[in-house]
Amino acid sequence: MSSDAALLETARAWLAQDPDAETRAELQQLIDAAAGGSADASSELHDRFDERLAFGTAGLRGEIAAGSNRMNRVLVSQAAAGLAGYLLEVAAPGEVPSVVIGYDGRKNSDIFARDTAELMAGAGVRAILLPRLLPTPVLAFAVRHLDVSAGVMVTASHNPPNDNGYKVYLGGSNEGSQIVAPVDAAIASHILRVAAEQNVLELPRGAFETAEEGVVDAYIAATAAVASEAPDGGRAELSVVYTAMHGVGWETARSVLAAAGFCAPHIVAAQIDPDPAFPTVAFPNPEEPGAMDLAIETARALDAELIIANDPDADRLAIAIPSATDATGYRRLSGNELGALLGWRAAERAVAAASGDNGATGTLACSIVSSPALKAVAAHYGLEFANTLTGFKWVSRAPGLVFGFEEALGYLVNPETVRDKDGISAAVALLDLATSLKASGRTIADHLEEFTATFGAYASSQVSVRVTDLSRIAEVMSALRADPPVEIGGIRVEQIDDLGEGFGALPPSDVLRIWLAGGARVMVRPSGTEPKLKVYIDASSTDGTVVEREAAAAATVAALETGMRALVNA
């Protein structure tokens, strides 16, 4: 059988088990065109069926369309059945495994979630569906709150509008953290077995439970408790603008902020309700240029003191503060800056909570591509510090964790209740800090200067190379390994750590860590969720005044960024 004939047979077999009228129609159109000799249609079918969307430690994530290399009801059904098979396999004798399922406002999120619940139940797993579309942190909380075996969140976070995804969490000793190796491979093997042996239309479906509102109420109460107790006279009033970025954060965030005693923020009305089309932003990611433009416009009109933005599933937080030097009037803090401030807050609270003569205990953790500033905070307060691989599946597992973050706007401020990044609890911690500062006549900007005076200046930058051909990323990584640079931006390279085979306590990861003269650092890795090569640049200075420290660190970062752009052709 020719490859084209085999391809058409594979596509027709997929079509025969697709329960979705939309993806079935577009696949039928492609099959007809390819059978009629269309080279473009044949190429598209190859792209959709020559590979399979891999299930890994990030679960599944991809464009919604027909085919094994896309997100759709067939693929999700196979994933649900495979996950059910894994949970049944590892369950103790006589135990009925359980799963809680959440979903956001993206296209097909509710459909994928309901399919998962029905198929899990049909396989003999107790399945609980959250009562409506909700933020990812609520699902992560529910895994522990309901004491279930696993959790599934249907979301593609901040990806483009036509993407969706499937994140898996584990309960029990995993405490609601996302899956890591080797569990991901074990689940993937069950999924592949289902895909090879079963038609998803013939998989048994069963009745699932719908969680009570009490789950959401418990999350709201636990998250509101992140804030310090309000002073007798109430919290200082702060003019705040909030955007949900067309996601699901607002309803829950509003309740949490009210329960914590904060004044209601002003909203960016055009972005406050869930909308899977994300009509006002090119990318629904507050890190992307232009994503916070409407929030800044709203803040300017109100002369607001702070802007808070959640991403569409509300597991990330971005903030912006007034700035006389920025043309827009506001400056968005980097994930590293906010992580340093929230880590400082966590360290001070750990010290305040310490009793006896033993001092404060606990661990501050961040991913290897995040700023070294948190390590300086930990050392200053005598706390442990952990550097983990990228992703909160690793950060959340740091022993003794009291605070964790990664530079991509992810923060974990209450690990005793949620073992994942949480943009709502992080917003509570940030507002707690900001209102306390205002009560003493200070601002977030003032606090950043105090951080530099106390710990040094930490500057960072990032270079992202978006590609259409993923092989380009592998080519760049191979070239850097084969011909490592001896200098970058005029600064001497002192050491290169290749994490591909593991490094120290770190598991293997496709990451290069480059150390330079003066202590600066460059990290290079492929993105785990997008078709990008990512470069992270960090430098610090503890010499001179605050202004001199900031200037020195910034100059080093600028030189390294220029050099890295030339190396990776960005």
Whichever domain contains 525, its CATH number is 3.30.310.50
Q: How confident is the model at residue 491 (pLDDT cuts 50, 70, 90)?
A: very high
Q: Which amino acid is at 125?
A: V
Q: What is the mean pLDDT of the chain?
A: 95
Average pLDDT of the residues in 493-521: 91
The answer as to whether 232 is a domain residue is no
- Cα angle at 120 between 160 and 23, to 5 degrees? 40
The DSSP line for 51-65 is S----BTTBEEEEBS
Q: Are residues 191 and 340 in the same domain?
A: no
Number of domains in the chain: 4
Residue 148: the pLDDT is 98
Closest CA to 195 of 278, 81, 116: 81
Which domain-ending residue is among 394, 428, 455?
455
Domain closes at, from 455, 489, 518: 455
pLDDT on residue 418 = 95
Q: Are 431 and 227 in contact (CB under 8 A)?
A: yes
Q: Please list the residues that pair with 526 across neighbouring strands.
A: 533
| Residue 356 confidence class, pLDDT cut points 50, 70, 90 | low
Q: Residue 1 — very low, low, confident or very high, per pLDDT cuts 50/70/90?
A: very low
For residue 209, the surrounding DSSP H or E stretch is: strand 209-210
Active site residues: 157
142-147 CB contacts, 8 Å cutoff, 24+ apart: 142/100, 142/102, 142/211, 142/215, 142/219, 143/100, 143/169, 143/170, 143/171, 143/176, 144/171, 144/175, 144/176, 144/417, 144/418, 144/419, 145/215, 145/218, 145/219, 146/98, 146/100, 146/211, 146/215, 147/171
Cis before 485? omega within 30 = no
* % of the chain at pLDDT higher than 90: 88
Phi, psi of 380 (to 5 degrees): -60, -35
Average pLDDT rounded to a whole number, residues 566-570: 83
Q: What is the CATH number of the domain that holds 243?
A: 3.40.120.10
**221 domain residue, yes or no:** no
Rg of the chain over Cα atoms, rounded to whole angstroms, equals 24
Cα gap 465→146, rounded to integer Å: 41
State the residue range of the domain holding 15: 1-50
Q: Which of 455, 485, 517 is the last residue of a domain?
A: 455
Domain co-membership, 281 together with 413? yes
* Residue 111: both structure tokens together: 């459909």
Residue 44: strand, helix, or coil: helix
In percent, how much of the chain has pLDDT > 70? 99
pLDDT of 570 strictly over 70: no
Rounded Cα distance, 33 and 29, in Å:
6
67 and 77 in a single domain? The answer is yes
Q: Is residue 462 part of a domain?
A: yes
**Does one domain contain both 302 and 421?**
yes
Structure tokens given for 275: 């909308």
DSSP result, 537-564:
EEEEE-SSSHHHHHHHHHHHHHHHHHHH
Q: Which two tokens stand for residue 516?
A: 């330079």
Q: Tens of pLDDT along 296-317?
A: 999 999 999 999 999 999 999 9
Give domain status of residue 418, yes or no: yes
Any domain includes 222: no
pLDDT exceeds cutoff 90 at 234: no
Q: Which of 330-334, 351-355, 399-403 has the lowest mean pLDDT?
A: 351-355
Specify whether 73 is located in the same domain as 26. no
Which CA distances in Å does 239 have to 271, 347, 392, 469, 491? Answer: 19, 27, 31, 45, 44
One domain, residues 443 and 529: no
Contacts of 287 (CB under 8 A, 6+ apart): 158, 318, 335, 408, 409
E-assigned strand segments in 371-416: 384-388, 401-406, 410-412
How far is it, in rounded angstroms, from Cα 307 to Cα 18?
Answer: 44
Helix (H) or strand (E) holding 460: strand 457-466
Note whether 395 and 276 are same-domain residues: yes
**Looking at the structure, do residues 469 and 424 belong to the same domain, yes or no?**
no
Whether the predicted pLDDT of 87 surpasses 50: yes
In a domain, 543, yes or no: yes
Alpha carbon of residue 415 to chain centroid: 16
Residues 423 and 518 in one domain: no
What single DSSP character describes residue 131?
Answer: S
Which phi and psi angles does 289 have, rounded to 5°? -55, 130
User: Residue 426 domain-assigned?
Assistant: yes
Say yes or no: 439 and 477 in one domain: no
CB 466, CB 569: distance < 8 Å = no
Same domain membership, residue 201 and residue 336: no
As a whole number of angstroms, the distance between CA 262 and CA 363 comes to 29
Q: Are residues 22 and 146 in the same domain?
A: no
